[in-house]
Structure 1
Amino acid sequence: MDGERPVTEKSTTHLRTVGKREILRDRVRNALRAAIISGELTPGTVYSAPTLAAKFGVSSTPVREAMIDLVKEELVVAQPNKGFLITEVSEQDLDEVTAVRLLVEPPSVRAVVPLVPAEAFPALRELAQRIVEAAEKGDLIGYVEADRVFHLALLAHGGNRRLLDVVSSLRAQTRLLGLAPLVSKGTLVESAAEHHQLLDFVESRNAEAAELFMHRHIGHVRGIWAGGT
């Protein structure tokens, strides 16, 4: 078509570079989000991009780009010439998030039970196992990210993208401040294993049990948010 620029080797190389940068940005953003949720990054503390870059073994550029995304999620607040402030959440905030999650997630899990094809379970089992393995290693950031990926992958079988956005947003507003004590007590693995139990109900097509289990699971998580057990 007249006026179009030809696709050159230089332009395709640029596209590959951009693609790699976007993938890195996504990975850094997910890791930073998980670090905030797990409490690895302390609420009320300001972190500079270079400090975070050193912590995660990347350059400052993807960290700054990722943090801009997290500002939009209200997980951090930009501090000019200083860095990014990790936002704090109150007990009321946590209660409100829990209330909304209880309204949304358990019935959504129930609805998705008959929709998950048999061939999808091996992949879901693998995702659930990643949560357990992260717990066994005491990898809090890995635990939170694996948990997020698992639940969104399960609900994705319902085909409702807006639901996934809502659930993802609610999870991003949490603070699992009690995870570290669970690691020291050796009970985080037990909590991680709940994901396999949930899959047991889904795989057996027991929608009612899956819904009730998810309801209990969220209540358990609320205790962790408060720094309990």
Structure 2
Amino acid sequence: MDLTRPEQAPGASSPAPPPVARPPLPVRPRTLPERHSVRAQVLAALRDALASGELEPGATYSAPTLAERYGVSATPVREAMQRLVSEGVVETVPNRGFRIAGRSRRDAAELAEVRAALEVPALLRLARALPAERWSELRPLAEATVSAARVGDRAGYAEADRRFHRSLLALTGNRHLVAVAEDLHRRSQMPSAQDGGPGPAQLLADALAHSALLDALCTGDLATAERLAHEHLAPPPATD
């Protein structure tokens, strides 16, 4: 008898064997981030094409056609287009592809109203708390919007415009406010279903408004800053 182990009672079950050490799972290269990166790049390219008017409101585009244009497979194009569908700027057309919905005047008015309700109060709170030099830090971003507008680069202007407003609202420290405001901003930049989007004169006027707004903020002129902010966020006038 083995005296080093306790005697087991008759009928008792045997003790569980010790756990067996298993070799670690092999490390495999991850491909998911790359797929997400391609989708993000396609989404950015589609947004630029929408902002520039390259993708025209009312036109229908198939995923394979767009995939060939951007040199990718149809899968990331479909995924990016579905994101735009969720944003309301693209519609799914069964067996054909995706139709560019465009932004109606009602869309423009409602988006402007919501953006003003979010951005203007935040801007005024900042204006009461920040010194002039903090507003001066945004000058290069305002100048970038002017540079893009002067050459009629609508896609470049759209990106520079978002960067300016995103950086301004980031001064609040409220990440959720920045994210919600940027989503609304993107939607407001979609081409109009009636006229296809702002022309060069409108772009330049919008760009110059950034500098005028900073001037008012630097001097502490809150009344002028509030007026300029509301005017800047207002929908463009009807052209017909």
TM-score range, shorter chain: 0.7 to 0.9
Cα contact 1:112–1:157 (8 A) shared by 2: yes
Runs of 4+ aligned residues of structure 1 deviating over 6 Å after TM superposition are none
Give the superposed CA RMSD. 3.3
1:153 counterpart letter in structure 2:
S
1:203 aligned to 2:205?
Answer: no
Give the whole-Å Cα distance in 1 for the aligned partners of 2:22 and 2:230: 58
**Once the 2 structures are TM-superposed, how far is the Cα of residue 137 of structure 1 from its aligned partner?**
2.5
Q: Percent identity?
A: 39
Per-residue deviation at 1:148? 1.5
DSSP-derived class of the 2:56 partner: coil
Using the alignment, how far apart are the partners of 1:117 and 1:7 within structure 2? 56
Give the 3 Å change call, closer, same or farther, for CA 82–99 of structure 1 in structure 2: same
CA displacement at 1:84 relative to structure 2: 1.2
Please list, as runs of the form range in 1=range in 2, the aligned pairs for 1:90-109 lying within 5 A after superposition.
90-109=104-123
- Indicate which of 210, 217, 221 corresponds to 2:232: 217
1:34 deviation in Å?
4.3
Q: Which residue of the partner structure matches residue 160 of structure 2?
A: 146
Deviations 1:177-198 (A, max 9, x none): 4676632xx5633431221222
Structure 1 residue 39, shift from structure 2 partner: 3.8
Aligned-residue offset at 1:154:
0.9
Q: Which of 91, 101, 111 in structure 1 is aligned with 2:125?
A: 111
Once residues 197 and 103 of structure 2 are traced to their aligned partners in structure 1, the CA distance between those partners, rounded to angstroms, is: 18
Which residue number corresponds to residue 83 of structure 1?
97
In 2: Cα distance, 1:117 partner to 1:21 partner: 44
| Mapped partners of 2:209, 2:87: distance in 1 | 28
Q: Which of 167, 175, 182 in structure 1 is aligned with 2:199? A: 182
Task: Report the structure number with the largest CA radius of gyration.
Answer: 2
- 1:8-87 superposed matches below 5 A: 8=27, 10-11=28-29, 14=30, 18-55=32-69, 57-60=70-73, 61-87=75-101
Higher mean C-alpha deviation, range 131-140 or range 88-97: 88-97
Q: Distance in 2 between matches of 1:121 and 1:28?
A: 34
Q: Distance in 1 between matches of 2:135 and 2:167?
A: 10
In the alignment of these two chains, the number of paired residues is 215
Q: 1:179 to 1:77 in 2, by over 3 A?
A: closer
* Matched residue type, 1:182: G
Is the helix fraction higher in 1 or 2? 1
Does structure 2 retain, via aligned residues, the 8 Å contact 1:140–1:179?
Answer: no
Q: Which moved more, 1:113-122 or 1:30-39?
A: 113-122
> For residue 199 of structure 1, what is the amino acid of its counterpart?
L
CA contact (8 A) 2:91 2:101 kept: yes
Return 5+ residue gaps in structure 2 as ranges.
1-20
Could you tell me how far apart the structure 1 residues matched to 2:173 and 2:22 are?
A: 40
Structure 1 residue aligned with 2:187, among 141, 156, 173? Answer: 173
Unaligned runs of 5+ residues in structure 1 are none
In 2, Cα distance between the equivalents of 1:4 and 1:62?
36
Residues 31 and 125 (structure 1 numbering): CA distance in 2 closer, same or farther, change over 3 Å? farther
Q: Are the structure 2 counterparts of residues 46 and 163 from structure 1 closer, same or farther at C-alpha, using a change threshold of 3 Å?
A: same
Select which of 135, 153, 165 maps to 2:149: 135
CA contact (8 A) 1:24 1:62 kept: yes
